[in-house]
Structure 1
């Protein structure tokens, strides 16, 4: 049987996907900032020891 999709259904699906993408990108950015911070800390330690 064919299921009809309304404009509201499509908008809700787009909103859900947008939220998921935003959360994923936020997680990626937070992880990148952590990696950069750790890298800078390690570099500073090496420079102090050298």
Structure 2
């Protein structure tokens, strides 16, 4: 399943729109999305950069 989450280096607002939609999701849906991409719930913050 494609979550639609992508890094957007072009300056477009696609990521912002996706984030706003995700904010409206129920917690269970958010948890399922995380578990699909990161089943061990490892900390990914170091991959975000400065």
Mark yes or no: TM-score above 0.5: no
Normalising by structure 1, we get a TM-score of: 0.29
Q: Which has the higher helix share?
A: 1
The one of the two structures with greater contact order (alpha-carbon pairs below 8 A, sep at least 6) is: 2
Normalising by structure 2, we get a TM-score of: 0.29
